[in-house]
Amino acid sequence: MKKNIAIIFARGGSKGLPKKNIKCINHKPLIAYSIMAAKAVKAIDEIYVSSDDDEILSIAKLYGACLIKRPDHLASDTSPEWLSWQHAIEQIKLIDGKFDILISIPTTSPLREPEDIENCILRLQESKADVCITVTKANRNPHFNMVKKNKDGFCELFSSPESQISRRQDAPVAYDITTVAYAANVDFVMKSKGLFDGQVTSICIPKERSIDIDDAFDFKIAKLLLESGER
pLDDT single digits (tens) 11-23: 987 777 889 999 9
pLDDT of the residue at 156:
79
- The pLDDT value recorded for residue 138 is 87
Residue 10 near residue 49, CB atoms below 8 Å: yes
- Asked if 183 and 120 count as a contact pair (C-beta separation under 8 A), the reply is yes
**The whole model's pTM is what?**
0.90
Model confidence at 111: pLDDT above 60: yes
- 10, 51 in Cβ contact below 8 A? yes
Per-residue pLDDT, averaged over 161-166, amounts to 58
Q: Measured between alpha carbons, how far is 225 from 231 in angstroms, rounded to an integer? A: 6
Rg (CA), the chain: 19
Q: Is the pLDDT of residue 145 over 80?
A: no
Q: Regarding beta strands 4-9 and 46-51, do their DSSP bridges make them parallel or antiparallel, or are they unpaired?
A: parallel
What fold, for 4-114+180-192+214-227? Spore Coat Polysaccharide Biosynthesis Protein SpsA; Chain A (3.90.550)
Does 160 have pLDDT greater than 70? Answer: no
What is the average per-residue pLDDT within 188-193? 97
- Angstrom distance (rounded) from CA 181 to CA 183: 7
Question: Looking at 30-34, 79-83, 150-154, 190-194, which range is the least confident one?
Answer: 150-154
* Percentage of the chain modeled with pLDDT above 70: 93
Q: Which residue has the higher pLDDT, 153 or 37?
A: 37
Residue 118: its H or E element = helix 114-126
Output the CA torsion sign for 32, 33, 37, 40.
positive
Domain boundaries, the chain: 4-114+180-192+214-227
Query: For the ranges 56-60, 73-77, 163-167, 202-206, which has the lowest average pLDDT?
Result: 163-167
Determine the average pLDDT of the residues in 192-220: 95
Write the single-letter amino acid at 127.
S
Contact 17, 23 (CB under 8 A): yes
Least confident of 50-54, 86-90, 116-120, 169-173: 169-173
At residue 168 the predicted structure's pLDDT band, cuts being 50, 70 and 90, is low
Three-class SS state of 218: helix
The sign of the torsion formed by the CA atoms of 121, 127, 131, 132 equals negative
> Is residue 60 pLDDT above 90, yes or no?
yes
pLDDT at 47 (0 to 100): 98
